[in-house]
Each structure stands twice: as C-alpha cells, then as structure tokens.
Amino acid sequence: MIKAFVFDAYGTLYDVQSVAGAIDAAFPGHGDYITQVWRLKQLEYSWLRSMMGRYEDFWTVTRHSLSYTLGTLGLAANEDLLAVVADAYNTLSPYADAEAALAALAGYRRAILSNGSPAMLAALVSQSRLQPHLDAVLSVDGKRAFKPDPRAYEVVQEQLGVLPDEVVFVSSNGFDVCGAKSFGFHVARIERVTPTALRQALTGSGTVGPAALFKALRSQAETCGEAADVVIGSLAELSAVPGRWADSP
C-alpha cells in the first residue's frame, strides 16, 4: 500500500528556470546561458562531492558552480553579488500545477527530499504556497551525500517511517529517477519535454542554444537500466494515475 508521495524540489516542484530574471538583471544579456550552465555544474559538483567523499552543503555547491559559470564568460563577481545572485535559488517559483497536485494527495503523507541544505529548503518552501501541503521537508545534508547516492534516499525511511515500497517518488530529473528506482521506491517521472518537442528544439532553428542543450541533457529519461514505473506530463496527473497506485492510503 502506498503511504507517501515524496517529491524532488529543484526542477520538480520548483522551476529552476525561474532564476533567469535575477541573473539577467545582474549580468544583462547572459541570463539564458548562465541559467543553464549554472544548473548543469551545480549538479555535477554535487556528484563530484559525493564521489570524492568531500561533502560540502548545497549552498556552497551552488555558489561554486555559479563562480565557475561566470568564469567561462570572463565575468567576475564579488562575494556580495555572488550571494545576491545565488539567493535566486531560495526564491524559485513553484510550477503552476504544484499546489493543486499536493492538495489532491492530502490522504497521503507528502514530503520533499532534496539536495538542498536545510536553510535553502526552509527559505524556498516558506516563500511559496506549498508549505501547508507538505508534511515534511527533508534534506540529504545529514547523510553528507547527494542524490543519487543511496544514502540520500535513506532519509525518507528514517524520517517518515515508511518502507521504500510504500513510497511513490516523484521527479523530473533523470538522475534522480534512476537513483530512486534503484533504491526501491516506486517512481513517477514528470516528462515536461517530450522527445518530439526536444527534437524540434534541437533541429528547428539550425542552432542549438543553451536552453535546448539543457533540455537534451536534463529533461529526458536516462538509459542506464533504471526506468520510472510511470511517466506523466505534469504534476496535475499524479492523482489520476490508475492501477497500481490507486489504492486508498
């Protein structure tokens, strides 16, 4: 029996693309490029930290990856400006369907499990309308390992008191889908960019821009052997998933 729906935060409930305005205000004309490369490096640095056994929290990772991205453009920022721009990750916009989707699952335990540090997640959730619909906001920080490291997913069982097969894990991130499925969760993947839409983005203009490249690298299902149990186009579809997850909590 399913007892809990656990959500990734960045890219699943909250739109990482919504940092673009703050970035373009600080670095005019570079909003799209910095938005995409910053996120790519943010994830890469989290994986490097886990694999090297040299953990630093996600706020530090976020700032380091921003510095890297600015460096590729020959841009520089003092500590104050870095902090201001990095803070855009603490004020991300929720996806338009996030609040209603969480509300529709009120009969289940609902939680976030995120790479974000506790302080980042507290800031992110408190400034949105999602907080009343969440029973827990969980960070991997106590495990000192980022998703998709199996240690990160252990937080769900330890904090919510549920077994992996009692959890539906929801993510739009391919690496997270793989990690959650490998850990033993049921997994719902949010496919916001279909393969057809991606091909159009990659071939339509004859030039592959940063946003299209990001979609190619981060929006599609991975092919490393751990597939989602169900693929849906939006969070709004979660409450209508038929069959295996339709049993009452």
Return the active site residues: 8
> Which amino acid does the sequence have at 83?
A
> Measuring CA to CA, which residue among 20, 26, 33 is closest to residue 76?
26
Q: Concatenated DSSP letters for the chain?
A: ---EEEE-TBTTTEEGGGGHHHHHHHSTT-HHHHHHHHHHHHHHHHHHHHHHT----HHHHHHHHHHHHHHHTT----HHHHHHHHGGGGSPEEPTTHHHHHHHTTTSEEEEEESS-HHHHHHHHHTSS-GGG-SEEEEGGGGT--TTSHHHHHHHHHHH---GGGEEEEES-HHHHHHHHHHT-EEEEE-SS-HHHHHHHHHSSSS--HHHHHHHHHSS---SS---SEEESSGGGGGG--GGG-S--
Amino acid at 11: G
**Cross-sheet strand order for the sheet of 167-171:** 136-139, 109-114, 4-7, 167-171, 186-190, 230-232
Q: Which residues lie closer than 8 Å to 76 by C-beta, 6 or more apart?
A: 70
